[in-house]
Amino acid sequence: METIKLGQDGAAVCPLCIGTWAWGDKLFWNYGSDEEDAKQLQVAFQAALEAGTTFFDTAEVYGFGTSEKYLGQFMQTSDRPIQIATKFGPAPWRFTAQSVSDALTESLKRLGLERVSLYQVHWSFSFFMSQETLMNALADEVQRGRIEAVGVSNYSAEQMQQAYKILATRGVKLASNQVRYSLLTRQIETNGILDTARKLGVTILAYSPLAQGLLTGKYTASSTEPTGARRIDPRFSKEGLQKIEPVISILKKIGDRHGRTPAQVALNWLIAQGNIVAIAGAKNANQVQQNAGALGWQMTDEEITQLEQVTRPWLY
């Protein structure tokens, strides 16, 4: 299984990460609220390991800790090396370095771990804690051995540079920035985030890599009525779906040549950009296996160029 490093000094991980936001989240996903859901998640976890996708992304706020608890329970059933990335949520009542340490302690307890591969700052909000205090607290935890690498999430190019500089004074290198990135959300290529990450040796963790399902080909202007929040999302309107038809058409053509689905091609395109980890959410074994189909093959340069050209309207 191919791997890439998280930043310059971080762990070697699979370039396809399993996103676990929905694992136990009732507020947004209404999922994980009963025993049957939990069993399905455990099967999904095992399917991920069998497929070689052993990198999981979670956060303390996912299901208010439930996602971390599930991962902690499931990891006890396997002796395979597993990399976990979780997140600290800046909040107004967290304004000291001790609050960072306390949050990490609670995440580690839920995960049943002594150390995480990647600990990320979930948002760039400062509130009452400065970036200096926050980054120094994270550097302290690296030195204590409870964090292997430090990452950020939803940081702009300027914020990423600031975090990098503060950590560097402590001999710690910023490993990653988790941001929205897909064929239909390519703004990081034009707003400086991708260029800055490459200059600093920071890995991009791409969330929502299938644009909430738009890149699966499941939704079309003539069929498949969107449900839930998608019903009020203009991207899922008839006009929005008509706009992406050329993209879906090329994804299907490329997929047919390689025996892959549009979603697998879209994920493969992300990984092909280099130093990118695609975080694909999965709630069951079938979704895990489908996502894993993005690995182990390569598009031609011409196919990558076709996708780049057809999605240029989404650069800004």
Active site residue 62: yes
Residue labelled with tokens 């950020």: 152
Quote the DSSP letter at residue 235.
G
Distance of alpha carbon 219 from alpha carbon 230, whole angstroms = 10
* SS3 assignment, position 116: strand
Determine which helix (DSSP H) or strand (DSSP E) holds 72, and give its type and residue range: helix 66-75
The active-site residue out of 62, 70, 181, 219 is 62
Residue labelled with tokens 């929005």: 240
Q: How many angstroms separate the Cα of 277 from the Cα of each of 7, 14, 18, 133, 161?
A: 11, 8, 10, 28, 20
Distance of alpha carbon 252 from alpha carbon 238, whole angstroms = 20
Torsion of CA 43, 49, 55, 56, to 10 degrees: 10
Residue labelled with tokens 């929905």: 22
DSSP β-bridge partners for residue 33: none
Q: Are strands 118-121 and 150-153 parallel, antiparallel or unpaired?
A: parallel
Distance of alpha carbon 279 from alpha carbon 16, whole angstroms = 6
Residue labelled with tokens 């939803």: 154
Residues involved in catalysis: 62
